[in-house]
Amino acid sequence: MSKKPLILGIETSCDETAASIISENDRGNPIVLANIVSSQEDVHKQFGGVVPELAARSHIEKIDWIVKKAIDNSGIRINELDAIASTAGPGLIVCLSVGLSFGKALAASLNKPFIAVNHLEGHALSPMLNSKLNYPYLLLLISGGHSQYLGVKNLGKYKRLGTTIDDAIGEAFDKTAKLLGIEFPGGPQIEVLAKKGDPNKYNLPKPIFNKGGCNLSFAGLKTAILKISKEIKNDQEKFNLAASFQKTIIEILQKKTKIAFTEFERQIKPKEKKFVVAGGVAANKEIRGMLIKICKEENYEPIFPSIELCGDNAAMIAMVGLEKFKLKKFDELDYPAKPRWALDEDALFLKGAGVKL
């Protein structure tokens, strides 16, 4: 029996310091041997958002023991590793540099291949850690920095079908939470508060709902929440606004996902209809429920990462590393950190004033 690959993944693109070791079982399915994630919530709480300099410092303080802990927990010896994969972008350059340099140095000292990973590709492949998934598939990537519909044709081959023209969905959740006086990171708390509120209490705008294909926009929604939040007098009104906000997001995603299904079929012409939802916001159960329902209606197979692999982690980075390792797609040690790194590099930049849809 040939030795199964052992891949170390390292993630430091934003405010999670993470390391993971994955391998494969005899059937060729990935197995997670260790998955360590250390969040910096306490570092950034008092500032209401991620402070890049503090995030980078915290990565520097923690990276050695997080990687050591992943190796110890996995039960392997460091020199048994077959490759080291680090996130190279997109993200905060001062943060990316920590995990990228650490990964390169370790690869050089062990004389093992180094693999640079796109963080977004990590999210895109994250469901492979718990379900069988073949290309092509439709991906809805909803995180703190990105909101996109993509046709995933193969490893490294993406066709963007739609994107946000302003804020990402996670950002809209976090900003709404901040306006409601919820501590950073507030996105997940909106889901909790929404359970206690009336979703029909406020009629909120749905920007570009009836135009722009499956492109998305949330900036107008944020402005409306800002106005209403100034008049909130008690907790019940706060719950009602959280519920109305979440319901509006769900209505937008419901309509835009149906358009994305049509675009996916038209542009990618898949044999099977598979729909992957990944990124931090994919942990939201109400959003999951609605997407599962429309998949049933439209004969799509819905595929989600497990809840703990929706947010940033290094198992998903190791997963991309494993796929690239099998294809011998290695990178040089001068690979740069890339603060901007789109999955579909041919797609037009669609942000800011004057965007034509």
In whole angstroms, what is the distance from residue 283 CA to residue 308 CA? 8
CB of 219 to ligand KG4, least distance (A): 15
In whole angstroms, what is the distance from residue 51 CA to residue 269 CA? 43
CB of 119 to ligand KG4, least distance (A): 6
Bridge partner residues of 150 (DSSP): 139, 160
Residue from 18, 312, 314, 316 in contact with Zn ion (CB under 5 A): 312
CB of 332 to ligand KG4, least distance (A): 26
Closer CB to Zn ion, residue 179 or residue 278? 278
Closer CB to Zn ion, residue 15 or residue 166? 15
The stretch among 72-80, 141-149, 154-162, 321-329 that binds ligand KG4 (CB under 6 A) is: 141-149
Distance of CA 351 to the CA centre of its chain: 19
Closer CB to ligand KG4, residue 68 or residue 285? 285
Closer CB to ligand KG4, residue 207 or residue 311? 311
CB of 59 to ligand KG4, least distance (A): 15
Q: Does 283 bind ligand KG4 (CB under 6 A)?
A: yes
In whole angstroms, what is the distance from residue 211 CA to residue 344 CA? 22
CB of 182 to ligand KG4, least distance (A): 10
| Nearest partner of 341 among 93, 91, 170, judged by Cα | 91
CA angle 183, 119, 156 (to 5 degrees): 150
Task: Report the partner that residue 15 touches, choosing among ligand KG4, Zn ion, none (CB closer than 5 to 8 A by kind).
Answer: none
Residues from 159 through 188 that contact ligand KG4 (CB under 6 A): 170, 173-174, 185, 187-188
| Amino acid of residue 228 | I
Residue from 145, 162, 305, 321 in contact with ligand KG4 (CB under 6 A): 145
The token pair at 153 is: 């044709």
Q: Does 279 bind ligand KG4 (CB under 6 A)?
A: yes
Q: Does 127 bind ligand KG4 (CB under 6 A)?
A: no
| Nearest partner of 214 among 248, 252, 172, 249, judged by Cα | 252
Closer CB to ligand KG4, residue 11 or residue 323? 11
171, with CB counted inside 10 A (0-12, 13-18, 19+), is buried
**What number of chain residues touch ligand KG4 (CB under 6 A)?**
17
The token pair at 266 is: 């038209």
| Nearest partner of 273 among 125, 90, 138, judged by Cα | 138
Distance of CA 99 to the CA centre of its chain: 18
Task: Note the helical H segments in 84-218.
Answer: 93-110, 119-125, 169-179, 187-194
CB of 311 to Zn ion, least distance (A): 7
Residues that bind ligand KG4 (CB under 6 A): 143-145, 170, 173-174, 185, 187-188, 191, 279-281, 283-284, 311-312
Contact footprint for Zn ion (CB under 5 A): 143, 312
